[in-house]
Amino acid sequence: MKLAIFPGSFDPLTKAHVDILNRALPLFDHVVVGIGQNTNKSSLLTVQQRVKIIEKVYEHETRVTVIAYDGLTVNFCKDQGAAYMIRGIRTVSDFEYEKAIAQMNHVLEPGIESIFILSKPGYSAISSTIVRDILRYGGDISKFVPKEAMQFL
């Protein structure tokens, strides 16, 4: 079975995340959405809320599982038996950042390949950080997140 991990903080899940995952699904037999703890970010949603949102968005897709994890993502991939890690790329700076992480991960665990999926142009400006900022200042985020997320925001 071709198993991939799509890791991230997903705080909150955006339409850009959904697009990347939807485009990754035809490439793999199963995708685990791994919700990692990012110690550099202050969270808006609890891990449990993020799990519920993603499970609701993909409630009819049996090839998607959502699991929260701590520690190195490459170790989570190994523990799950995944040979692939999916990463979305929006900008050149995303690529540089993700390339460095992928190269380090490859040194740590050569059997895990990073798969980069470029965001569609309409989603390249959407990030969880920007969505959190819009929300903190009372802006309307409904254009940027799946409708299933709105009840938590």
Catalytic residue among 2, 41, 120, 147: 41
Region of 71 (left: φ > 0; alpha: ψ -120 to 50; beta: rest) is left
Side chain identity, residue 148? E
78 annotated active-site: no
List the one residue out of 105, 76, 92 whose CA is nearest residue 6: 76
Q: How many CB atoms lie within 10 A of CB 43?
A: 14
DSSP tag of 76: H
Annotated catalytic, 60? no
Strands of 45-129 (E only): list them.
Answer: 64-69, 84-89, 113-118
Q: Indicate if 30 belongs to the active site.
A: no
| Selected catalytic residue, list 9, 119, 127, 128 | 128
Q: Which of 90, 119, 127, 132 is catalytic?
A: 90
Q: Which of 15, 17, 50, 132 is catalytic?
A: 17
Name residues whose C-beta falls within 8 Å of residue 111's C-beta, 6 or more positions apart in sequence.
Answer: 78, 83
| CA distances (Å), origin 126, targets 77, 101, 105, 116 | 26, 21, 26, 17
Active site residue 17: yes
User: Which residues are designated catalytic?
Assistant: 17, 41, 90, 128
